[in-house]
Amino acid sequence: MKVIENGVCAAIGFKAGSIHCGIRKNQTKDDLALIVSDTICQTAAVYTKNKVKAAPILVTKKHLINGMSQAIIVNSGNANACNPKEIENAELEAQCAADYLNMDVENVLVASTGVIGQVLPIEKIQDKVSDINLSSENNSNAAKAIMTTDTKEKTVAVEFKMGSVTCHMGGICKGSGMIHPNMGTMLAFITTDCKVEQNVLQSCLLDNTNKTFNRVSVDGDTSTNDMCIVMANGMAQNEII
């Protein structure tokens, strides 16, 4: 295995992008990101074990009933949690991304991070999502856009062999406070071009998060929005795992 550059854009067929849409008052920081695959992906996910789960998790779980996705829309600055319009606005967030990307809304996953208890200004996302420039060079922009109290972006990528075929895997993550065993205020998005069955992907993700993310503690708090998603589009064309 070899460490490489470009995070979630390192795998074949993945692009990302971000923009400042106005959720955050800081005009210099992007607060909306997209991660998009050229094709449908086998997808695995794990979520916070907090009893209270925010609408983005509930909508994402619903969209992942079939174990497939093609895009993730992520906003920072507002968790869209514990407010009367959270489900409606999470669904609208997925829909505006689907409209921009010209794909079925069920193939769009949703994540939010930030202040809890405030209504998400969904119209700001709807107004700006189509201005996001998607590129295979935009990993760093997306990584920075999902940050809240983080002091630096968190990104990694590797290449590895499956038989004679070179595959790639990369990810971005955010999380600084409210981290305790069983996730925490953390979002992690991982992409790979390796061809792998969904049940195997889910099993591997669960096994690894139990050894890693679910053992991390910063301040003893868990949160409402935490998730880790892995998207595998199979474009490396290795023999399926």
Question: Which residue range(s) make up the domain with 66?
Answer: 2-232
Of 218 and 42, more confident: 42
Number of domains in the chain: 1
d(CA 197, CA 176) in angstroms, rounded, equals 32
Closest alpha carbon to 57 in 129, 15, 112, 2: 112
Q: Is residue 186 part of a domain?
A: yes
Q: Map residue 160 onto helix, strand or coil.
A: strand
Q: What is the CATH number of the domain that holds 187?
A: 3.60.70.12
pTM: 0.94
With residue 144 as reference, give the H or E element that holds it.
helix 139-145
Kindly report, residue by residue over 135-167, the tens digit of the pLDDT: 999 999 999 999 988 889 999 999 999 999 999
Residue 237 has pLDDT above 50, yes or no: yes
Task: Evaluate whether residue 94 is within a structural domain.
Answer: yes
pLDDT in tens, 114-134: 888 999 999 999 999 999 999
Note the pLDDT of residue 177: 60
Domain-embedded: residue 239 = no
d(CA 87, CA 59): 7
Would you say residue 240 lies in a domain?
no
CB 107 within 8 A of CB 43: no
Question: Which positions are catalytic?
Answer: 185
Is residue 238, in this structure, part of any structural domain at all? no
Q: Tens digits of per-residue pLDDT, 49-64?
A: 888 899 999 999 999 9
pLDDT tens digits, 211-220: 888 777 666 6
Q: What are the tens digits of pLDDT across the range 1-20?
A: 999 999 999 999 999 999 99
- The DSSP annotation for 198-239 comes to HHHHHHHHHHHHHHTGGG--SSS---SS-EEEEEE--TT-PP
- The pLDDT value given to residue 15: 98
